[in-house]
Amino acid sequence: MSNNNDTLLKVVDLKMHFPIYRGVFQRQVGAVHAVDGISFDVRRGETLGLVGESGCGKSTTGRTILQLYKATAGEVFFEGTNLMSLKREEMRWMRRQMQMIFQDPYASLNPRMTVADIIGEPLSVHNVAGGKEIQERVFQLLELVGLNPGFAARYPHEFSGGQRQRIGVARALALQPSFIICDEPISALDVSIQAQVVNLLEELQEQFNLTYLFIAHDLSMVRHISKRVAVMYLGVIMELASRDDLYLEPLHPYTQALLSAVPIPDPVADMNRKRVILEGDVPSPVNPPSGCRFRTRCPIADKICAESRPEFREVKVGHFVACHMVT
């Protein structure tokens, strides 16, 4: 991973295990290995895409980075500061630089609060502004995300899904952060609205030099918005590379299978391409396979894949893969 001054966020061997309790005495009988030892960095001003099928740990990764979940192990460095070592008040101050856009625009906004209260709440909580200054800032943020400032007195139920997500974006921008985690911000929206929200995020990134961790399972959209892409499976990152390297020459069998399932608008090209069909189901994160997490479904798995976990190593410049079979 990069160690230069361009690195804004650095994640080192991050783990997030959710304990499972049973019985009258609530004894721990196991744990869900949602995130199980991942490392990556995010450079200033870039968009890093994090992709993978549902349940692989993408959203948990984002929430653990922001310390919404207390990590089981690992380290998260933001501008050189280890977030894991910060006290509550120190982390509260640090969150002014780190915000999140949530997946569901219907569940992430308080239905009892007006738009002005929702967007203005971070400003009052962090004592950034007060009184009339908050109102003026709310109007500016609404205009910034393409909404009428006159909507400030309305409630969330009066807006469409796309408008609600714009409100969520405005709330995330209220404290002028440098880093935003976009947790599948378009998955709950209509296709026609998705492009509008993505274009808005790109415009805001260019205007304010924002850095994004863009979590999604739409590979086509990730290719459009991201500079680099990390592929996650069952709590582990399988491959990380620049967008062009990953999409043109995927090295990990799981990445190859994912990309082969992406729809192509050209019927002839779609008919002639080779599909990679994975057999079996995704193993349970409660009891993941030994060695390589993907070995139970991998078409090229060997004996060593069950014996030891593959090292997440750089096989080409900027191209990292966790696979024993890739040389």
- Residue 50 forms beta bridges with which residues? 215, 230
d(C-alpha 326, C-alpha 324), whole Å = 6
Convert the pLDDT of each residue in 184-241 to its tens digit: 998 878 888 888 889 999 999 999 999 999 999 888 889 999 999 999 999 999 999 9
Query: Which tokens hold the place of 184?
Result: 């599948």
- Is the confidence at residue 46, as pLDDT, over 90? yes
pLDDT at residue number 278 = 86
CA distances from 122 to 47, 148, 192 (A): 24, 20, 30
Lowest mean pLDDT among 1-10, 191-200, 216-225, 291-300: 1-10
Check if the beta carbon of residue 71 is closer than 8 Å to that of residue 16: yes
- Is the confidence at residue 3, as pLDDT, over 80? no
CA distances from 272 to 246, 256, 269 (A): 21, 16, 5
What average pLDDT does the segment 89-104 reach? Answer: 91
Locate the domains of the chain by residue range: 253-327
Confidence of residue 276 (pLDDT cuts 50, 70, 90): confident
- Is the confidence at residue 283, as pLDDT, over 80? yes
Looking at per-residue confidence, does 131 or 16 come out higher?
16
- Is the confidence at residue 4, as pLDDT, over 60? no
Output the DSSP codes for 282-293: PPPTTSPPSS-T
Q: How many CB atoms lie within 10 A of CB 120?
A: 24
Dihedral (Cα; 52, 53, 59, 65), 10-degree rounding: -30
pTM of the predicted structure, to 2 decimals: 0.91
What average pLDDT does the segment 116-121 reach? Answer: 94
Query: Which tokens hold the place of 108?
Result: 């992430």
Confidence of residue 106 (pLDDT cuts 50, 70, 90): confident
pLDDT at residue number 236 = 96
d(C-alpha 186, C-alpha 194), whole Å = 5
Buried b (16+ CB within 10 A) or exposed e, 255-280: bebbbeeeeeeeeeeeeeeeeeebee
Place of tokens 């069998």: 253
Dihedral (Cα; 183, 189, 192, 196), 10-degree rounding: -40
H helical segments located in 28-110: 58-65, 88-94
Q: What is the mean pLDDT of the chain?
A: 91
Convert the pLDDT of each residue in 144-183 to its tens digit: 999 999 999 999 999 998 999 999 999 999 999 999 999 9
| Closest alpha carbon to 221 in 49, 40, 46 | 49
- Is the confidence at residue 2, as pLDDT, over 70? no
- Is the confidence at residue 44, as pLDDT, over 80? yes
Q: What percent of the chain has pLDDT over 90?
A: 76
Rg (CA), the chain: 21
What average pLDDT does the segment 274-301 reach? Answer: 90
| Closest alpha carbon to 164 in 135, 136, 197, 138 | 197
pLDDT at residue number 136 = 93
